[in-house]
Amino acid sequence: MITLTFVNPFYLWLLVSIPLLIITHFFVLGYLKRRAVKFANFEAIKRVTGAKFELKNVKTISKNRFLLMIRVFVLLFLIFSIAGPVLWYIGQSSEFDFVIAIDASSSMLADDFMPYRLDAARKASSLFVENLKARTRVGVVSFAGTSFVEQDLTDNMKKTEEAINGIRIKRTGGTDIGSAITTSSNLLLREENARVIILLTDGQSTVGMSVDEAIEYANKNHVTVNTIGIGTKEGGTFIKGDILSKLDEPTLIGIAQKTGGKYYKAENKEELVRAFDDILSSAEEKIPINLSMGFMMIALALLFVEWGMINTKYRTLP
């Protein structure tokens, strides 16, 4: 699937200038035609234009439709260029930007992972960061009842690991998975590499933005969300063993499938590490191609063509 998006779509409003260009073109030509009728010295014109000049050519030259078409395309490509066109396609990529979103709600204290889920998630995430290629940019988001940016995108892996290891259980109640996806997506919006979120959670979204809205937002911005469900089939207890937390797989499977990612179930530390390894080795992602410079070069080339034409075939006679 191939789609075209614009980084600065506001500039597309400048397309209304194209009809104005066409109107102005024919208005000016009408004025020049009326002026040309007053020019009676056709012998002088013939000496300027060459032996092939004929009076019947005046009508054809006065329309300049091909010249108008070139000017329309110059303006069109210039507007597209400043609007920031990006072509997206599914293919193999070796360059990614990651955001690791880690659930820091109280349910991540469940003891089906020793000593608890959050500790296992932090260690596996740190190991993943250690294995990344140089110049890969990684951001870190934690979430509970709301989302927190622990680390903006950076290629400094030491800072990333410190941010991951510094995540603690949040006091805000509930789990807002929708907000976690949108916040993570926002960190990736200005990046030109494949955009990937790794969402670690027990999957129980209880408050905040709906998951469906977050999925729509991620797809709109061409973000792939890989989900890792951390928790055993039996579940685990937390808060003095009074509350049982089980993995909500349907939610995480739906997020992954609808955004082009994969779902991984991690019932132990080994499976958690293998999930990260598989994400790291994944080749097919949503890949962007920035077309701004290409459109700008086309516009400049057409400008040179127009300059040559108005000084030869379409030159204006005095």
| CATH number, domain with residue 193 | 3.40.50.410
b/e map 232-253, b = 16+ CB within 10 Å: beebbebeeeeeebbbbbebbb
Counting Cβ atoms within 10 Å, is residue 307 exposed (0-12), middle (13-18) or buried (19+)? exposed
Q: Are 62 and 80 in a shared domain?
A: yes
Q: Are 29 and 109 in a shared domain?
A: no
Does any domain span residue 233? yes
Q: Are 13 and 131 in a shared domain?
A: no
Structure confidence by residue, pLDDT tens digits, 187-246: 998 777 888 999 999 877 888 899 999 999 998 888 999 999 998 877 777 765 566 677
CA distance 191 to 139: 12
- pLDDT of 205: 83
Q: Are 68 and 187 in a shared domain?
A: no
- pLDDT of 62: 47
Which structure tokens are listed for 87?
């072509």
Q: What is the pLDDT along the chain (318 residues), one digit of tens a residue?
A: 677 777 788 888 989 888 888 888 777 766 666 555 555 455 655 555 555 545 444 444 445 778 888 888 999 999 988 988 877 766 655 577 899 999 998 888 888 888 888 999 999 999 999 888 777 899 999 999 999 999 999 999 999 999 999 999 988 888 999 999 999 999 998 777 888 999 999 877 888 899 999 999 998 888 999 999 998 877 777 765 566 677 878 899 999 999 988 999 998 889 999 999 998 887 556 666 778 888 899 989 988 888 887 777 666 555
Domain total for the chain? 2
- pLDDT of 122: 94
Q: Are 283 and 156 in a shared domain?
A: yes
Site of tokens 């400049």: 300
Q: Are 54 and 129 in a shared domain?
A: no
Q: Are 176 and 253 in a shared domain?
A: yes
Q: Are 296 and 284 in a shared domain?
A: no
Does any domain span residue 178? yes
Q: Are 49 and 128 in a shared domain?
A: no
Which structure tokens are listed for 40?
């009676």
State whether residue 283 is helix, strand or coil. coil
Q: Are 131 and 40 in a shared domain?
A: no
Does any domain span residue 315? no
State whether residue 235 is helix, strand or coil. coil
Does any domain span residue 316? no
DSSP 8-class letter at 110: -
> Which domain does 55 fall in, by range?
3-84+292-310
Counting Cβ atoms within 10 Å, is residue 155 exposed (0-12), middle (13-18) or buried (19+)? middle
Q: Are 105 and 242 in a shared domain?
A: yes
